[in-house]
Structure 1
Amino acid sequence: MARIARLSDVLINKIAAGEVVERPASVVKELVENSIDAGSRTIRVALEKGGLGRITISDDGHGMGMEDARLCLERHATSKLRELDDLFTINTKGFRGEALPAIASVSRFTLHTAEPGAQVGTKVVVEGGSDPLVEEAPPRVGTVISVEDLFYNTPARRKFMKREATELQHAEEAVIRLALAHPDVAFFVEHGGQQLFTSPASPGDPRERIAAALGPGVHPHLVPVEERRLGVSVTGHIASPEYTLPNARGIYTFVNRRYIRDRGLNSAIQRAFQEFLASGRQPVVVLFIDVDPRAVDVNVHPQKQEVRFADAKGVGDTVHAAISRALRAAPWLGNKGEGGGPEQPRQAAHYAMAVERFLTRAQEATWGAPLPLPGTQDAPVPGGGPTSPLPFAPTSMQGPSGPAFAPVTTLLPGRAPAFGQAQPQLNEAPPPGYFGALRPMGVLGERFHVCEGPGGTLVVLDAHAALERARLMGFQRMVEREEAPVPTLFGAMVELPVSVAKALVEGREALARLGLEVEPFGGTTLALKAVPPSLVGADARALLEALARALPPPGSALDGTTLAEGLRVLACHAARHAEGQLSEGKLRSLLGELDAADFHPSCIHGTVVVLEVPLLELERRALRPPNPKI
């Protein structure tokens, strides 16, 4: 009896899915690439449960007839290759014909499509790799593909998926990479009905797409690069060395409009920037390398994210030259002007105008009319106080973490911006590594810590709010672990008003979950026998009075939600107790804690970043004449 047998098509597709479909982001990437290859001008991505629940891709491309819709779900059936030579001149995103059958083998798959002008469309349904059910359907423009319950029939794969937020982040990043490569295509991404990424087509100005993908703060720092050598063309944009990140997530390299990761290209980029960046900082780079398709092999990685160049050194040298030329010619070097005389420092006037143009555009997008430019005159701001003379100004609006510090734009009350439409507020979503990159310089008013940020940015922190945020995270972990109160060596007897003492005695179980132990000691006096370590020595009376107002009603379920107000009280009092003991070493440790903190839960005092002023704005103000009319 033969020991070797042919594998079934279902098993072959599932094996292929192990290479092609790594996670929901892989599905998003493959399907959106197909939409781009189909000539789509608008692509919509809708996700549920991070993509594990449902992924829906809608496009307005050329669609398919019934026969093509049936064939596209067969392994190695593709419209993008015909002969062997075609493999060496690939100009499309996909070409192997593996993605659709692989995806359909590990999900509940539905395809609805029609050719332009067709009187009838086609619907194809596949359940976990079963035989496709093909039927007629109403005609539509383009194609809609729905992928539900990804990996439902391969539970071993499903259990290796990360939590929903992580999978969603990967899926969103997959769209951003494709959106950067194709600014002529409009992209819209939503999750659970909420918009995440909204970017209309911007073929005339790629910087608009870069700002939509990476945040509007990068826009005034973008510098074009261009270099052509021996069949290699390098174009794109880099951010000035004054705008950097703590990691390499801002480096995007594309070969013939395909996102790739290549050590040689990354090395060329790092070498070009090495004299301009501080230790631990990484550049922001969006580069497009165009070469003859015959000079690059894109068929060396299952997900097509690595390539092999016929002349890897030549490509790397061209990339290095393109960035080096842009850096040498850039105004931040203080190059000589005409006649050999020095230009104004860093050409601040040029940068100031760029910043002002961007601020004006952002304000018009929010309010429909321009607001007075920073530093020109005081004017009322809708929903806030007077216009600040700086581009980043506190407002009276409330964010999820208390009073919101609003960079660039003031948002409509109750209306959250879609991803890419407004820079995340630092007191709600600080960039990774933001606080650890700060360099403390001094204390102002015995409360505010003045720091230098990347590129010379001036940052002012509220020490109390920073401590409060860090302590809140510790208290939340204590509640989640259900730690029992630890008796303290220094108990306290506290005489309290009748109503306060009564509320505390009734809430002793809730207090225990918060790490405190109290006992009646006659009359309205309570014995405080245990407190969390960070509250040892704090004002016991003020703490207990505040907790009495924050405890949930008797009989309530005790969890992170019902105890949230009590946790905020603990964090505030712990911060108040530690404020005066914040040495430089402890401040640096605190900044590290802030980078690991969750900024979504609200604090009583939520405004950690009181002020952030870019170096460009300081230079613009320094160069402004004392009398604007002169």
Structure 2
Amino acid sequence: MTIRQLPDILVNQIAAGEVVERPASVVKELVENAIDAGARRVDIELEEGGVRLIRIRDDGGGIAPEELPLAVSRHATSKIASLDDLEAVATLGFRGEALPSIASVSRFTLVSRQADAEHGSALQVDGGRVGEVQPRAHAPGTTVEVRELFYNVPARRKFLRAERTELGHIEEWLRSLALARPDIELRVSHNGKPSRRYRPGDLYSDARLGETLGDDFARQSLRVDHSGAGLRLHGWISQPHYSRASADQQYLYVNGRSVRDRSVAHAVKMAYGDVLYHGRQPAYVLFLELDPTRVDVNVHPAKHEVRFRDSRLIHDFVYRTLQDALAQTRAGAAATQPATMSTLAPGGTPPAAAMGLSSGEGGFRDWRPAQSPLGLRVDEAPGAYAALYGASGGTSLSQPMAPLPAMPVDPAGLPQTSAEAGVPPLGYAIAQLHGIYILAENAEGLIVVDMHAAHERIGYERLKGAHDGIGLHAQPLLVPITLMVGEREADVAEREADTLAALGFEVTRAGPQSLHVRSIPALLAQAEPEALLRDVLSDLREHGQTRRVAGARDELLSTMACHGAVRANRRLTLPEMNALLRDMEATERSGQCNHGRPTWARFSLAEIDRWFLRGR
């Protein structure tokens, strides 16, 4: 076959296959160019989901008339000039491929004016054929118009989806951009009608969070801001009770660039390991900042991915930061949206919005007294419960219960907060309901606690703390195990021998694809060490980190804590119930049991008043 040079138009169309996947790809490239040009406001006009028309208008610095033809030629950019620039690039776009690629598969018009110019200039490109620069009236800034996307590449056009689908992809990318750049005003219209407007504001304002992800996320998220080792991680993570069925609210930005990274996603998943209900996904908006020379942003044509120079450090930094954030909140410390009777799930389970978040480390108590089901009719219950609490040393219903301390009033006549009034966040126990739930009264209203779930978490955290102090012990094997693995796994085992030893595995390489295992973690001796070791090696190879051993250990400790926790229909005295509440307030992650189920709910007095129409 004869070797020949490809024509420029075909080269650009091939590049368009990498850069321009769908209308959302065009919007992304053009809006990023506008931001790099210093725009403070960007207007996006769309027709038919962006297939018929995409018009991006900005108030940025503009392009000189003589540079317009250069702007639509391949690998022409104002953003880098040397390899040093490329290794420390801070702009969103820099390859110089976007405009020529887009222009090669559309009817393309570029109009721009610099602030000191008398008029604007326009350049048209039709399917890659560049016209002449013409004068045109235009405000300072740039307008890029893309009509009939893929009109000359029918095979690509056939793969575009329905108008609503393509518009949805554009809106999702703009939502991601709005989170990263709240200082920029974005106005969107579709088929001649305004559809969305993101007003400029502060990075940490709840208004922008509410506009993009909804008020629920803004209310139910935790602020994170931690620096160390030349890294900074800041943003918001959802409280465990605000979880999702899919990963549709997970946004990661590296030096302001929206990216996907498997290592960071894995670190986040690990941090939420034992606080999320199975199958649920956390929501987060995280900004990772580091020296640009420590990250390569030039590994993907559309710049969706990055490569870190030290991915293990990044992974550990993200994991530790989020784990600490989730652990350091305490039960009752963060007020959440109260549950309403109309939003209780079938079976009486409070909705996610009603659950609290917790954390800390507390004592592990053993409640021994037994309470069999009373099985009484409603009219028989008062006397029986009076005897129950009288006999247990608690409060008898035949005598008035000691009231909560009176709430102090500030000079303005408003009640002070729980902390100011001296009332604990979870209040004081007043009763046990069906031998399952503890009812407590705090300064704001009613607290309902699932006593088994709460005690299970308290015991679990206590066991973890005790075991962490002891460390992982290795149990030597009488006869070493020969484990057949892939060559890459064998390489990892040889390279990470010290890491494996710290986890309780003594492993030596026996051949190109075989290992000798001479010891295993003592606590997991009854598990399947071969399968566990394979998973550990897979994690070390892919992420540079592993929590497989710790996870298996935690699963065992969780089972132990579950069996040791107070069971339903146990009779607890009021002092015992109050002791459980105090331990919840001091225990890490006590808002969820070991399986991710909520342990408590809060109902404000105002909400309860609405149930009974009081004050109306």
TM-score band (shorter)?
0.5 to 0.7
Render the CA deviation track for 1:478-528: whole Å, top value 9, x for unaligned: xxxxxxxxxxxxxxxxxxxxxxxxxxxxxxxxxxxxxxxxxxxxxxxxxxx
**Displacement after TM superposition at 1:138 (Å):** 1.2
CA distance 1:347–1:306, shift in 2 (3 Å): closer
The residue that corresponds to 1:7 in the other structure is 6
Q: CA RMSD in A?
A: 2.8
CA distance 1:621–1:110, shift in 2 (3 Å): same
> What does 1:301-380 align with in structure 2 at a 5 Å threshold?
301-330=300-329, 333-334=330-331, 345-348=332-335, 351=336
588, 591, 603: which one pairs with 1:618? 603
Secondary structure at the residue paired with 1:243? coil
The yes-or-no answer on 1:154 pairing with 2:153 is yes
The residue that corresponds to 1:120 in the other structure is 119
**Displacement after TM superposition at 1:622 (Å):** 6.8
> What does 1:412-561 align with in structure 2 at a 5 Å threshold?
440-441=346-347, 452-454=350-352, 456=354
The residue that corresponds to 1:199 in the other structure is 198
Distance 1:392 1:212 in 2: 26
The yes-or-no answer on 1:110 pairing with 2:16 is no
Secondary structure at the residue paired with 2:278? coil
Q: Does the CA-based 8 Å contact 1:114-1:142 persist in structure 2?
A: yes
**Displacement after TM superposition at 1:627 (Å):** 14
The yes-or-no answer on 1:300 pairing with 2:285 is no
Q: Does the CA-based 8 Å contact 1:161-1:167 persist in structure 2?
A: yes
Distance 1:289 1:71 in 2: 34
Q: Does the CA-based 8 Å contact 2:181-2:203 persist in structure 1?
A: no
**Displacement after TM superposition at 1:9 (Å):** 0.6
Secondary structure at the residue paired with 1:288? strand
Taking structure 2 as the reference length, what is the TM-score of the superposition?
A: 0.57
One-letter amino acid of the counterpart of residue 308, structure 2: F
Secondary structure at the residue paired with 1:133? coil
Distance 2:21 2:341 in 1: 43
The yes-or-no answer on 1:90 pairing with 2:89 is yes
One-letter amino acid of the counterpart of residue 7, structure 1: L
The residue that corresponds to 1:470 in the other structure is none
One-letter amino acid of the counterpart of residue 231, structure 1: G
Structure of larger gyration radius: 2
Please list every run of 5 or more consecutive structure 2 residues that lacks an aligned counterpart in the other structure. 357-599
Secondary structure at the residue paired with 1:189? strand
The residue that corresponds to 1:543 in the other structure is none
CA distance 1:619–1:56, shift in 2 (3 Å): same
The residue that corresponds to 1:100 in the other structure is 99
**Displacement after TM superposition at 1:208 (Å):** 2.2
The residue that corresponds to 1:240 in the other structure is 239
Q: Does the CA-based 8 Å contact 1:296-1:310 persist in structure 2?
A: yes
Distance 1:313 1:624 in 2: 53
Q: Does the CA-based 8 Å contact 2:355-2:602 persist in structure 1?
A: no
Q: Does the CA-based 8 Å contact 1:63-1:116 persist in structure 2?
A: yes
CA distance 1:617–1:70, shift in 2 (3 Å): farther
One-letter amino acid of the counterpart of residue 306, structure 1: E
The residue that corresponds to 2:141 in the other structure is 142
**Displacement after TM superposition at 1:95 (Å):** 0.6
Q: Does the CA-based 8 Å contact 1:391-1:617 persist in structure 2?
A: no
CA distance 1:246–1:82, shift in 2 (3 Å): same
The yes-or-no answer on 1:52 pairing with 2:51 is yes
The residue that corresponds to 1:412 in the other structure is none
CA distance 1:230–1:124, shift in 2 (3 Å): same
Distance 1:619 1:324 in 2: 30
Q: Does the CA-based 8 Å contact 1:227-1:318 persist in structure 2?
A: no
The residue that corresponds to 1:337 in the other structure is none
Distance 1:616 1:205 in 2: 28
Q: Does the CA-based 8 Å contact 1:13-1:105 persist in structure 2?
A: yes
The residue that corresponds to 1:61 in the other structure is 60
The yes-or-no answer on 1:230 pairing with 2:225 is no
CA distance 1:291–1:217, shift in 2 (3 Å): same
One-letter amino acid of the counterpart of residue 278, structure 2: S
> What does 1:391-402 align with in structure 2 at a 5 Å threshold?
none
Runs of 4+ in 1 over 6 A off after TM superposition: 389-393, 622-629
**Displacement after TM superposition at 1:137 (Å):** 0.9
Render the CA deviation track for 1:245-267: whole Å, top value 9, x for unaligned: 11001110000000110111001
Q: Does the CA-based 8 Å contact 2:112-2:141 persist in structure 1?
A: yes
Taking structure 1 as the reference length, what is the TM-score of the superposition?
A: 0.56
Render the CA deviation track for 1:255-285: whole Å, top value 9, x for unaligned: 0000110111001111111222112221110
Please list every run of 5 or more consecutive structure 1 residues that lacks an aligned counterpart in the other structure. 335-344, 356-388, 394-437, 442-449, 459-614
The residue that corresponds to 1:445 in the other structure is none
**Displacement after TM superposition at 1:171 (Å):** 0.9
Secondary structure at the residue paired with 1:64? coil
The yes-or-no answer on 1:188 pairing with 2:187 is yes
**Displacement after TM superposition at 1:14 (Å):** 0.2
Distance 1:165 1:32 in 2: 21
The yes-or-no answer on 1:279 pairing with 2:278 is yes
CA distance 1:627–1:211, shift in 2 (3 Å): closer
Q: Does the CA-based 8 Å contact 1:227-1:321 persist in structure 2?
A: no
**Displacement after TM superposition at 1:628 (Å):** 11
**Displacement after TM superposition at 1:216 (Å):** 2.2
One-letter amino acid of the counterpart of residue 55, structure 2: T
The residue that corresponds to 1:549 in the other structure is none
CA distance 1:627–1:148, shift in 2 (3 Å): closer
Distance 1:169 1:247 in 2: 17
> What does 1:403-414 align with in structure 2 at a 5 Å threshold?
none
The residue that corresponds to 2:492 in the other structure is none
Distance 2:25 2:64 in 1: 26
The residue that corresponds to 1:166 in the other structure is 165
The residue that corresponds to 1:33 in the other structure is 32
Distance 1:620 1:309 in 2: 51
Percent identity of the aligned residues? 42
Render the CA deviation track for 1:26-54: whole Å, top value 9, x for unaligned: 00000010011011111111111111011
The yes-or-no answer on 1:22 pairing with 2:21 is yes
Q: Does the CA-based 8 Å contact 1:227-1:319 persist in structure 2?
A: no
Render the CA deviation track for 1:82-141: whole Å, top value 9, x for unaligned: 112111010000111000000000001111110012101111111111123311111312
Secondary structure at the residue paired with 2:6? coil
Q: Does the CA-based 8 Å contact 2:240-2:275 persist in structure 1?
A: yes
One-letter amino acid of the counterpart of residue 603, structure 2: L
Distance 2:242 2:354 in 1: 10
Render the CA deviation track for 1:428-478: whole Å, top value 9, x for unaligned: xxxxxxxxxx9631xxxxxxxx765445579xxxxxxxxxxxxxxxxxxxx
Render the CA deviation track for 1:136-160: whole Å, top value 9, x for unaligned: 1113121111111000000000001
Secondary structure at the residue paired with 2:603? helix
Distance 2:341 2:221 in 1: 18
CA distance 1:108–1:240, shift in 2 (3 Å): same
Q: Does the CA-based 8 Å contact 1:228-1:318 persist in structure 2?
A: no
One-letter amino acid of the counterpart of residue 138, structure 1: A
CA distance 1:86–1:392, shift in 2 (3 Å): farther
Q: Does the CA-based 8 Å contact 1:440-1:452 persist in structure 2?
A: no
The residue that corresponds to 1:129 in the other structure is 128
Greater length-normalized contact order (CA 8 Å, ≥ 6 residues apart) = 2
Farther off after superposition, 203-212 or 261-270: 203-212
Q: Does the CA-based 8 Å contact 2:354-2:601 persist in structure 1?
A: no
> What does 1:560-579 align with in structure 2 at a 5 Å threshold?
none
Render the CA deviation track for 1:360-383: whole Å, top value 9, x for unaligned: xxxxxxxxxxxxxxxxxxxxxxxx
Distance 1:621 1:283 in 2: 30
One-letter amino acid of the counterpart of residue 239, structure 2: S
Distance 1:188 1:258 in 2: 21
**Displacement after TM superposition at 1:206 (Å):** 3.9
The residue that corresponds to 2:392 in the other structure is none
One-letter amino acid of the counterpart of residue 285, structure 1: Y
Secondary structure at the residue paired with 2:346? strand
One-letter amino acid of the counterpart of residue 108, structure 1: R
Distance 2:349 2:132 in 1: 63
